[in-house]
Amino acid sequence: PVIASVMAESMVLSMLGGGIGSLVAYGLFNGYSVSTLGGGFTQVAFNFAVTPGLLLQGLSWALAIGFIGGLLPAVRAARLPVTAALRSN
Cα–Cα distance between 74 and 21 in angstroms, integer?
25
Let me know how long the chain is: 89
**Model pLDDT, residue 39:** 67
With contact defined as beta carbons under 8 Å apart, do 22 and 58 qualify? yes
Cα–Cα distance between 65 and 60 in angstroms, integer?
9
Q: Could you report the per-residue pLDDT of 21-69, keeping only the tens digit for each?
A: 999 999 999 988 888 876 667 778 888 999 999 999 999 999 999 999 9
85 has pLDDT over 70: yes
**Model pLDDT, residue 3:** 93
Model confidence at 11, pLDDT cuts 50, 70, 90, reads very high
Measured CA distances, 86 to 1, 33, 82, 89 (Å): 17, 54, 6, 6
